[in-house]
Amino acid sequence: MEAAAAVWRDNIDRRQGLVHPSPAYSGVWLRDSFWTLAGLGDITLSNRALGHFAAARLPSGQAPTQFTAFPRNPLYRSDESTLLFLIWAAWQVDAGGPHPKRTALQAALTYILQQSSHGLYRSPRGPYTSWLDSFRLPADDTLAYNQGLYAVALQCARQLGLKVKNQDVRAAVAGYRSLVDRKGYLRFSANLDYHDAGALTGEFLSLWLLHRPILSDQAVRQTLAGLPSFQGGFRVLTDGRGRYLPRGSFTPTLQPGDYQNGGSWLLYDYLSLAAGVLHHVPGMSARMEERLRAEFRAGAVFHEYLETDPHNPFFSGEPPWRDRFSWDSFVVRVDQVVRSAHRG
């Protein structure tokens, strides 16, 4: 894919093992690095990059969210970065790459277990609690996105040779399933019945890396049916009735349809749609193709997101300075997973 090749050529410093999210960002983030390098599949480069984050972990085991000036000035947020650290390490080893140091992995496992209570991964009120870092969580909560990653990360830790109690895995899996609403869809969090296009991320990762589902076919189908649609994909975060959230729910304030206030994000659209394909939900393959057509309507370039409010001057696009977004290149890997499932 031309857009992915451009990202892997222009946004990755192979000598240092760093991933630039796009020209709009100067820092280096763990989540962007994982998605981009897992998409590329270069194990040597992956190990180099993963090593930077392992070396910068706190004594608690928490991995840095980002380096503001690579490889210095790490920032630590109460988000999903340490969960992804373990998932990244498991993918790397499964793909035939080096095994990270056990001390770093054990420290990460200890940290994520300390963030959970009765199987639920707890996120504190305020911003920076997940990749939806501009959203201000109004109270301590459990996010479906983080909970899904937690359930996968514990099982990945076990695959990496760490001792993980069966009861902890069962509780994490049950916690993810418990966020399926009475209406049948996987809600944004335990406290908020919002629609979240990233909520199925853990389900895709489980199907890809662990080769088994966590959620039922019905839960995935109902979640996808409830997500507000946009050109094959979705408006990423909306309230329980599919409406944009108030501007003040975000820091900084965000207009309807802009950025994380209901913008359409290719990576999370694609992960959710692919989870639907793998759960045999009709029409999801066609929607994956439709979403790619929307992404490349103006040329072979990955956008950070697409504006979804028709009143916005950048509707169906974004400000050009946000173009060439690295983590969208993971769609190449998603396509491979879906094709492999069809062959099987």
Overall number of domains in the chain: 1
For residue 102, the tally of other CB atoms under 10 A from its CB is 11
Residue 103 has pLDDT above 90, yes or no: yes
Please count the other Cβ atoms lying within 10 Å of the Cβ belonging to residue 302: 23
Q: Give 195's strand partners.
A: 238
Give the C-alpha separation, 71 to 78, whole Å.
20
pLDDT in tens, 263-307: 999 999 999 999 999 999 999 999 999 999 999 998 999 999 999
The larger pLDDT score, comparing residue 183 to residue 210, is at: 210
Each residue's pLDDT tens digit, 91-101: 999 999 999 99
Q: Chain-wide mean pLDDT for the chain? A: 97
Whole-structure pTM value: 0.98
Please give the span between the terminal C-alpha atoms of the chain, in angstroms, as a whole number: 24
In this prediction, residue 344 carries a pLDDT of 64
User: Does residue 124 have a pLDDT over 70?
Assistant: yes
The CATH number of the domain holding residue 234 is 1.50.10.10
Domain encompassing residue 299: 2-343
What token pair was written down for 69?
């000036």
Contact 184, 256 (CB under 8 A): no
